[in-house]
Structure 1
Amino acid sequence: MLSFGTSAFLKLVCLNDRPQRTAIRQRLLSSGGAYDYHRSLRLRAQRYLVRGESMTAIAASIDEIARAPERNSVRVGLERLEIWRTGYAGSILDYGSVTYESPSRLFKVAFAPDFGIQSDDSGVAVHIWNTVQPRLLPEMTYGAISLFRPLYEETDNAPDDLAVLSLREPELYRLSEAGGYADMGADLVARIESTVREVSDELDLPPDGEEHAPEPRP
């Protein structure tokens, strides 16, 4: 079974057909996990939002990141996160993660909120997106996070809403504002399962991925 983190799955569903097939092919052939490029940002975002550390202190730690592209990505991401937070008040909350498994058990996706926030009377579980390419498509974003709503209904501490905070704009995409896009989840999953089967056949691999169980990626 292929395993995805939230950002990796959002990236997959926002790709055009050919690069999407290529990405799935690489997943099926992979025997291990990739470097989590966005972990440095998520850890610092949690220090800022959850632990209440000053952005000045957190920004000073960016120089500890060895890779220049990652340093630059974190720096820009934190700058935009601070701008967003300045204009979006609300108490910070904590929510656990849930994992969705596709109907044919061809892939699974973990939704691990980077933070929760109180918005009016609603508690919102938020995942941070800081990927440059592909562009985050709102309709695909809403369809993807709609998969997790039923799973949270079975938990003790369920958020009222789910969201993706894109630091590219920055923009908060809340499921409650999805309208008809919230019904796209099932079709989205069916398309991904179909592509996994097709690519597995091309590679002469079992479609359930039993011989290849990659670790979750960012």
Structure 2
Amino acid sequence: MASVKTFGFSFLLRLVCLSPKPQKRAVRERHKPSKSGFDYHRSLRLRIQQIAFEGLSDAQVLASTDQITKAPERASAKRGLERFFKWREDNPGALATCPALTFLSPRGFFKVTFQPDFLLELDGRRTAIHVWNTQQKLSGNLVMAALWAVASRFPPQNRPDDFAVLSLQDGRFYRWSDATKEHALLGENLLTMLDTQCELARTELGLPAIGPEAPLPIA
């Protein structure tokens, strides 16, 4: 059975917020054998986790960005950290780890991995937070739909009370708990639409057919 591509949650957000032609192109590029899906913002997330779980200070992780070789990545990490520090001033509290979730799309043409950067109690709810630091503008409704797709598939064991995306670009904070039934339907439609895009990309690139694999049930 041929393997399918696994999309990180940031890549999923990027895809659903693209217009049709760039979206199709991004899916096709991701399916090319040479495309490994380099995470441009891994440096930022790594340093946030060093603050949260390894006891490093804000000053230490900010200074460590000088070790990042690529200038654009270094500048992006510094800006993101400074904005994260500001957000933490308004949202203090102990940061905790949260297990990742990987689930199969409805038709089985791709997988999604949601790896929260940290867990933080907000308004009495243990909230799994994914940090977004890409310049691409997010659509609130599409982000909420993507969060619903994750939340509905998260197993009951150790399940967070809420799921959220923190955009360090504009300071917006998207919570799954604010989503509606319309977002739930939109989330499933988005996954099905991306299934079609992935199927088309595999056909165009001459990739082997995929075999059946049962998706996780929706909670």
Task: Please name the residue that 2:217 is paired with.
Answer: none
Task: Please name the residue that 1:157 is paired with.
Answer: 158
In the TM superposition, what are the counterparts of 1:86-165 in structure 2 within 5 Å?
Answer: 86-133=89-136, 135-154=137-156, 156-165=157-166
Matched residue type, 1:175: W
Task: Please name the residue that 2:191 is paired with.
Answer: 189
| Identity among equivalent pairs (%) | 40
Task: Please name the residue that 2:67 is paired with.
Answer: 64
Q: Would the aligned equivalents of 1:100 and 1:147 in 2 still touch at CA under 8 Å? A: no
Report the Cα distance in structure 2 between the residues aligned to 1:137 and 1:30, rounded to whole angstroms: 30
Count of residues in correspondence between the two structures:
207
Secondary structure at the counterpart of residue 208 of structure 1: coil
| TM-score, structure 2 as length reference | 0.88
Post-superposition offset of 1:29: 1.7
| TM-score, structure 1 as length reference | 0.88
Does residue 1:26 correspond to 2:29, yes or no?
yes
Q: Would the aligned equivalents of 1:81 and 1:170 in 2 still touch at CA under 8 Å? A: no
Post-superposition offset of 1:177: 1.1
Task: Please name the residue that 1:46 is paired with.
Answer: 49
Report the Cα distance in structure 2 between the residues aligned to 1:208 and 1:165, rounded to whole angstroms: 35
Q: Would the aligned equivalents of 1:4 and 1:109 in 2 still touch at CA under 8 Å? A: yes
Report the Cα distance in structure 1 between the residues aligned to 2:16 and 2:198, rounded to whole angstroms: 13
178-187 vs 22-31, which deviates more?
A: 178-187
Q: Would the aligned equivalents of 2:93 and 2:120 in 1 still touch at CA under 8 Å? A: yes
Structure 2 alignment gaps of length 5 or more: 212-219
36-45 vs 109-118, which deviates more?
A: 36-45
Task: Please name the residue that 2:19 is paired with.
Answer: 16
Report the Cα distance in structure 2 between the residues aligned to 1:82 and 1:75, rounded to whole angstroms: 11
Q: Would the aligned equivalents of 1:93 and 1:117 in 2 still touch at CA under 8 Å? A: yes
Structure 1 alignment gaps of length 5 or more: 210-218
Secondary structure at the counterpart of residue 173 of structure 2: strand
Post-superposition offset of 1:52: 4.1
Cα RMSD, aligned residues only: 1.8
Task: Please name the residue that 2:204 is paired with.
Answer: 202
Report the Cα distance in structure 2 between the residues aligned to 1:11 and 1:29, rounded to whole angstroms: 18
Post-superposition offset of 1:51: 3.5
Matched residue type, 1:47: Q
- 1:137-192 Cα shifts (integer Å, max 9, x gaps): 111111112122133233x2110011111111112211001233243111111111
Post-superposition offset of 1:207: 5.2
192-201 vs 78-87, which deviates more?
A: 192-201
